[in-house]
Amino acid sequence: MKYSFLEIAPDVAEALQNKRPVVALESTIIAHGMSYPDNVENALRCEAIVRENGALPATIAIIDGRFKVGLSTDEIERLGREGQKISKTSRRDIAFILARKACGATTVASTMIAARLAGIPIFATGGIGGVHRGAAETMDISADLQELARTNVAVVCAGAKAVLNLELTLEYLETYGVPVVGFQTEEFPAFYTRRSGLPVDYRIDTPEELAFALRVKWDTGVQGGVVIANPIPKSHAMNRESVEQAIEQAIHDADAQEIRGKALTPFLLARVEQLTSGVSLLANKALVQNNAALAAKVAAAYSALD
């Protein structure tokens, strides 16, 4: 018996068959990254932005034991309402959440896996996971990085989440051969802020050049993803000192409350949101939406190469 688990929404399947542009979107950001109703509102806004920029959105999650590529509004609403009750599902969890016929909110890693299975090469998120500060002791390194090393999907993000050690995250990506491309920037953006002081490998200025570089990469047969780093819009970029202060406080609180493992990233994001009186939430929404727009343009340019 082969268990059939993948369910591609009819409009997404049709677009893929006709080589029309599709952008994958993740669902951990819905269930764990923001609270209700901001999470739902932001997810639906991202889908609308993808459409406005010439591509079809495919939000990905596990719903009652089906790996779904393309969710209905009701399903997005359900993920948003149930929030933390939905399992955060990364690579290691996929089979077990499917087998239990449960629901799972997919991380960057597991969304890449589903996107690859469905044949979607472009994916937009907020920030990828990475090497946590203090990882030398905790060994907390997101499975997102290993996924980027092996799975052929380009991830448009605003850098890695600022709660991480960005320098070590870039070192790790280099070791595993993952290219980090700056969109209209030479610097790796730091999620809530536009700069980190750390260089990207390549600067690319247009969606068309990005699409062509992706095509060439995958035509060479070199396996693995690409990080497309797109800085947060200037209008929503946060003050570096105040956000850094909030992050340090949040990490301190996580330590004191012994928050570890997969609970850590959602805890830090929520705590930073409290400490900045919601300013970080506005920034988070703005950067995700900005990434959705760029991903749609890259997907459209990628399709046009055929």
Interface pick for ligand PSU out of 33, 104, 182, 207 (rule CB under 6 A): 33
Q: Which residues lie below 8 Å from residue 243, measured CB to CB, with a gap of 6+?
A: 162, 192, 193, 272, 276, 280
Q: Does 151 bind ligand PSU (CB under 6 A)?
A: no
Cα–Cα dist 296/289, whole Å: 11
Is 161 catalytic? The answer is yes
Task: List the catalytic residue out of 77, 88, 147, 161.
Answer: 161
Burial, 51: exposed, middle or buried (Cβ in 10 Å; 0-12, 13-18, 19+)?
Answer: middle
Q: Which residues lie below 8 Å from residue 170, measured CB to CB, with a gap of 6+?
A: 180, 188, 198
Q: Does 129 bind ligand PSU (CB under 6 A)?
A: yes
Q: For the CA atoms of 187, 188, 194, 195, what is the dihedral angle to 10 degrees?
A: -60
CB 161 within 8 A of CB 177: no
Which residues are 61's β-sheet partners? 68, 105
Q: Does 140 bind Mn ion (CB under 5 A)?
A: yes
Q: Does 29 bind ligand PSU (CB under 6 A)?
A: yes
263 binds, among Mn ion, ligand PSU, none (CB under 5 to 8 A by kind): none
Region from 57-65, 139-147, 167-175, 195-203 binding Mn ion, contact rule CB under 5 A: 139-147
- The CB-of-268 to Mn ion minimum distance in angstroms stands at 11
Between residue 264 and residue 293, which ones bind ligand PSU under the rule CB under 6 A? Answer: 265, 269, 284, 288
> Which lies closer to ligand PSU via its Cβ, residue 97 or residue 301?
97
Site string for ligand PSU, 176-215 (x = CB under 6 A): ----------------------------------------
Is 26 catalytic? The answer is yes
> Which lies closer to ligand PSU via its Cβ, residue 142 or residue 151?
142
Cis amide prior to 37 (ω within 30 degrees): yes
Given the structure tokens 């090393």, which residue do they identify?
149
Going by C-alpha positions, the residue among 130, 125, 203 that lies closest to residue 160 is 130
Interface pick for ligand PSU out of 12, 16, 24, 28 (rule CB under 6 A): 28
- The CB-of-9 to ligand PSU minimum distance in angstroms stands at 20
Strands 226-229 and 154-157: parallel
Residues carrying an active site annotation: 26, 161
| Binding footprint of ligand PSU on the chain (CB under 6 A) | 26, 28-29, 32-33, 107-108, 125-127, 129, 142-144, 262, 265, 269, 284, 288
